[in-house]
Amino acid sequence: MCSGDSCDASGAVGNGALNDCSSTLAHGAACTPTCNTGYTLSGTRSCTAGALTDTVVCNPDPCDASGAISNGAAGSGCTSTLAHGSSCTPTCNSGYTLSGTRSCSAGTLTDTSVCNGNSCDASGAVANGALNDCTSTLAHGASCTPTCNTGYTRSGTRSCAAGTLTNTVVCNPDPCTPEANDDSKNGDDGVLYCINGGTVSGTTGSCLCTGCDGFGGASCETAGACSASDNPDKDGSDSIFWCINGGIVGGTANSCTCTCKDGWDGLSCEIAKACTASDDQAKDGSEGVLYCSEQHGGTIGGFTTECTCTCAQGWGGSGCQTADACTANPLDSSKDGSDGSIHCGEHGTVGGVTNSCTCTCDAGWDGSGCETAKACTPSAESTKDGSDGELHCSAQYGTIGGTTNECTCTCQSGYGGSGCETAGACSASTDLSKDGTDGSIYCINTGGTAGGTAGACTCTCKPGHEGNGCETASACTASSDSSKDGTLRGIDKGRK
């Protein structure tokens, strides 16, 4: 019987050991090497008739690199299966910077990554102070303390947290203190030269020396320039001088002066001057000069700030520059408008302004003051009643008379009506010259009858009379009527 040959299965295993694999692995048998720590076995070794089949590999294990990192995060590259021989970089939060990495070797993770807090720039200038131990690289979690200049006191600190500087440092100015001997002390260090009874106030850099009556200057070292006061007791001995009404103070203590503005007088400008007139419209009396037109009779009065301008009659306005509207004076015939009053009666209308007055008369009136009624004139208008000097009166048949408001219209004989426009009924007359033009016609009443109206009269004869005025008796005629007595001639003239 033939037996299968054995195989040599003792070849070295990379990153592992033979375990039960020998140089005489029997035909039909298999063996399993072992892998070093950090490696994992895949495959086997088997023998068939002296031929070795070897698929064994010791594969390096991956690493878990997903662990948290303080002040940061694992990041997308650091996973729980970081491959052997690989490395990854976590990410840091804002204000932190990464140092180190994470790397994998046969299942073993080497982690040197750290998120370190960033430093801060604490070297910014300190107003009225110095940096001291504050640098441009103040470490995370550290603090520093600037110092302040003389005359200032510090409050607050500077500290760093993850690249963010917290700065509460302030060098606060100290209250000022006085110095009576060193005139170089100007308050920059909180000490101020202040003499002559002055009182120091304020803080370092803003010191003041005040309250030294009669003295001036930053340190009360100079006899003070005079200043104005409305207190009449102030005589300038302390450099305060009674000076009012816009006066300008000059001089120094004990030699004060008060220079007055226009319109004022006196040692302290306390006396208002009498006002004067001016043609300048801007002058309002505040300086003793007031716009007041003397040309138009303005009279100036009063004293500075209380000036008056009294206008002559007929003028007005702030400076008597405006001519008034004219007014009527019906009684005084001497009024010519020069004072805004003009002689003008009830039948006139006043117009214009002072020096240019007019008196326009109503219709029918005349004279300088419209006081004279005009002679009446006839008019064909029936509405004319004489109130304007015109009266309804026929020029042909009436005679006009009178004056405005008292007009008359006297009618010719034979005419009547308000304007003598109506012809009257005719009347008979024995006057042979009467032809009817005046409403009277020659017509013998015994023989004729007057008819018609003036200008168109008729004389109608009775039977038995004839002629223009029926003055002629007609020849008698016979009649069979026994009642006929001859008074009516010709009645039966055609009858015999």
Q: For residue range 160-189, list pLDDT tens digits in order.
A: 999 999 999 999 999 999 999 999 999 999
Residues 44 and 83 occupy one common structural domain:
no
> For 40-75, how does the pLDDT look when each residue is reduced to its tens digit (9 = 90+)?
999 999 999 999 999 999 999 999 999 999 999 988
What is the arithmetic mean of pLDDT over 195-212? Answer: 92
Residue 105 resides in a domain:
yes
Residues 139 and 91 occupy one common structural domain:
no
Question: Which of 143, 158, 173 corresponds to the end of one domain?
Answer: 173
pLDDT of residue 117: 94
pLDDT of residue 261: 92
Residue 414 resides in a domain:
no
Band of residue 85 on the pLDDT scale cut at 50, 70, 90: very high
| Nearest alpha carbon to residue 158 among 146, 173, 147, 172 | 146
Residues 447 and 487 occupy one common structural domain:
yes
| Nearest alpha carbon to residue 145 among 128, 160, 133 | 133
pLDDT of residue 385: 83
Residue 3 resides in a domain:
no
Residues 108 and 135 occupy one common structural domain:
no
Band of residue 133 on the pLDDT scale cut at 50, 70, 90: very high
What percentage of the chain has pLDDT greater than the value 70?
A: 98
**What's the token pair of residue 350?**
């006043």
- What is the overall mean pLDDT for the chain? 88
495 near 484, Cβ under 8 Å?
no
pLDDT of residue 431: 81
DSSP one-letter code for 13: -
pLDDT of residue 398: 82
Spell 66-95 as b/e; 16+ CB within 10 A means b. eeebebbebbeebbeebebebbbebbbeeb
Residue 314 resides in a domain:
no
pLDDT of residue 445: 64
What is the arithmetic mean of pLDDT over 322-333? Answer: 85
What distance lies between CA 487 and its chain's CA centroid? 114
pTM of model > 0.85: no
Residue 451 resides in a domain:
yes
Q: Return d(Cα 10, Cα 46) in angstroms, integer.
A: 12
Which of 267-276, 421-430, 454-463 reaches the highest mean pLDDT?
A: 267-276
What percentage of the chain has pLDDT greater than the value 90?
A: 47
What distance lies between CA 158 and its chain's CA centroid? 52
Residue 496 has pLDDT above 70, yes or no: no
- Cα pseudo-dihedral 359, 362, 367, 372, rounded to 10: -140
DSSP one-letter code for 44: -
| Structural domain harbouring 167 | 129-173
> For 354-396, how does the pLDDT look when each residue is reduced to its tens digit (9 = 90+)?
888 888 888 888 888 888 888 888 988 888 887 888 888 887 8
Residues 55 and 80 occupy one common structural domain:
no
- Domain count within the chain: 5
Residue 88 resides in a domain:
yes
Residues 468 and 445 occupy one common structural domain:
yes
Band of residue 493 on the pLDDT scale cut at 50, 70, 90: very low
> For 341-360, how does the pLDDT look when each residue is reduced to its tens digit (9 = 90+)?
888 988 889 988 988 888 88
Band of residue 490 on the pLDDT scale cut at 50, 70, 90: very low
Band of residue 146 on the pLDDT scale cut at 50, 70, 90: very high
Spell 48-60 as b/e; 16+ CB within 10 A means b. eeeebebebbbeb
Residue 31 resides in a domain:
yes
Residues 439 and 496 occupy one common structural domain:
yes
Residue 393 resides in a domain:
no
pLDDT of residue 487: 60
